[in-house]
Amino acid sequence: MDLYGIDSEAVRRLDALLESGVTVTVTAHTHPDGDALGSVSALVGYLRECRGKDAVAVLPDSPAATVRPIVPAGVPLLCFDTQPDACLARIAASDLVVLLDANGFSRTEGLQEAFEASPAPKVLIDHHIGPDTEHFQVVFSTPDVSSASELLYYTLLELPDIGGDPRRLPADTARALLTGMTTDTNNFANSVYPGTFRMAADLIAAGVDREAVLADLYNRYRENRVRVMGYLQYEAMRITPEGLAYIIATREIMDRFGVDEGETEGLVNIPLSIDRVKMSILLKENGGHFRVSIRSKKGWSARACATSHFHGGGHENASGGKLFWPGDIACREDASAYLEQVSKACLS
Ligand code: 5GP
Ligand code: MN
């Protein structure tokens, strides 16, 4: 183990797998966020440019329009929702699979079976607790980093061709790593470690234009996003006596403002700025269920709440899951009553 907890024996085995494999498939969790897309793009770019591999990103579903631009033009991307046959054929033809930003193939939903059935060796690089080590030959797993992008950065540095010099990373890879870390830390607000600042400093010194990264991430939204975020905070946010703030973004509201689910990214963090709010939950209607985002202040566990009440998981203070009807609740309109119960169970 070195300073960043990168296991040198695992690096040696990763390097050997990269030497022998040619057709590499890189994947991440469903509903890919900036860290998933940044880390996947960074690794595919490195494998293509530095190692001459036929590396392709294969994702369980298409990225939301707000985060799609994180994937550079030079990174081939297949998505299971739009090209299921191509994804399955690619997985079957792969001689190496790498999973990033997810603790097991269960987080790749519709692709889980195909990945688990593949005889190719598999590598896990992730920062969630509870890695499913059973399906992987090489595992890099620690929750003590900001993001999968940060863990991948320090792993790449250990590879012999990079030799600790970030200037040897392709420019698109360096930028994707800084982008992924920036989104998962909410621009250096959460889960920041000394290594996170060091990574940022090194990548900026190596030539990454941080201002351009920030402009691409935070200054290119549609007007509709800002308007629906204002509406949801003003009209839809409720705060329970225990200190749970919750917002239910129904299909009607989303349609009225003409926004898709990805455009409420970041909203769940805002109520935490209120003094008496300990936890924030955002429900986003998605077909016959709600997708659930949970954030908590230190001392209250978003993860425990996601695990106990929403079939989910994640990090201690940033988690997610789902709420089904009928099932968890009889009908959609029962969601607020359910959240009031969750508030009592998780915060009193
Ligand atoms: P977000 O609220 O941004 O969608 O997700 C926050 C965190 O929760 C992410 O780290 C993500 O990995 C985790 N997460 C979101 N949805 C789920 C889920 O359905 N299951 C599990 N296990 N984790 C989730
Ligand atoms: Mn992540």
Could you tell me if 147 and 119 are in contact, meaning their C-beta atoms sit under 8 angstroms apart?
no
- Domain membership flag for residue 2: no
pLDDT in tens, 322-346: 999 999 999 999 999 999 999 999 9
Q: Is 127 in the pocket of ligand 1 (CB under 6 A)?
A: no
| Residue with the two structure tokens 């896990």 | 124
- What pLDDT sits at residue 261? 86
Residue 1: pLDDT above 90? no
* Residue 229 pLDDT greater than 80, yes or no: yes
Give 289-328 pLDDT, tens digit per residue. 999 999 999 999 999 999 999 999 999 999 999 999 999 9
pLDDT at 4 exceeding the cut of 90: no
Residue that has been written with the tokens 């390097």 in this structure: 15
Mean pLDDT score, 108-135: 97
CB distance 59 to 91 below 8 Å:
no
Pick from 187, 218, 249: which residue ends a domain? 218
Mutate to test the pocket of ligand 1, among 29, 37, 67 (most ligand atoms within 8 A of CB): 29
Ligand having the closest approach to the CA of 185: 2
| Domain, as residue range, for 243 | 223-347
Tokens 């300073």 correspond to 3
pLDDT band at 102 (very low <50, low <70, confident <90, very high): very high
pTM equals 0.96
Ligand nearest to the CA of 103: 1
pLDDT attached to residue 121: 98
Which among 147, 268, 319, 324 is the best mutation to test ligand 1's pocket, defined by most ligand atoms within 8 Å of the CB?
Answer: 319
Which ligand sits closest to the CA of 146? 2
Any domain includes 3 = no
Average pLDDT, the chain: 97
Question: Is residue 141 included in any domain, yes or no?
Answer: yes
Please state, for a pLDDT cut of 90, what percent of the chain lies above it.
97
User: Does 261 share its domain with 307?
Assistant: yes
Q: Does 282 share its domain with 321?
A: yes
Measure the CA angle with vertex 146, ends 144 and 148; round to 5°: 95
Q: How far apart are CA 106 and CA 125, in angstroms?
A: 15
Q: Is 284 in the pocket of ligand 1 (CB under 6 A)?
A: no
Sheet-wide strand order for 238-239: 238-239, 244-249, 279-286, 289-296, 318-324, 313-314
Same domain for 133 and 63: yes
- pLDDT for residue 74 is more than 60: yes
CB of 118 shorter than 6 A to ligand 1? no
Cα of 102 to ligand 2 centre, how many Å? 8
Q: How far is the CA of 32 from the centre of ligand 1 (A)?
A: 10
Examine residue 213 and state whether it is found in any structural domain, yes or no. yes
Indicate if the pLDDT at residue 259 is higher than 80. Answer: yes
Quick check: 115 pLDDT over 70? yes
Contacts of 297 (CB under 8 A, 6+ apart): 272, 277, 278, 279, 317
Work out the average pLDDT over 213-234: 97
Express as a percent the part of the chain with pLDDT over 70.
Answer: 99
Report d(CA 105, CA 114) in Å as an integer. Answer: 9
Looking at per-residue confidence, does 213 or 262 come out higher?
213
Distance, in Å, from the CA atom of 289 to the CA atom of 329, rounded to the nearest integer, reads 10
In tens, the pLDDT along 17-28 reads 999 999 999 999
Shared domain check, 12 and 73: yes
Q: Span 194-217, mean pLDDT?
A: 98
* Last residue within a domain, chosen from 195, 218, 241: 218
Which residue's CA is the closest to the ligand 1 atom numbered 12? Answer: 314
Q: Indicate which CATH number applies to the domain containing 143.
A: 3.90.1640.10
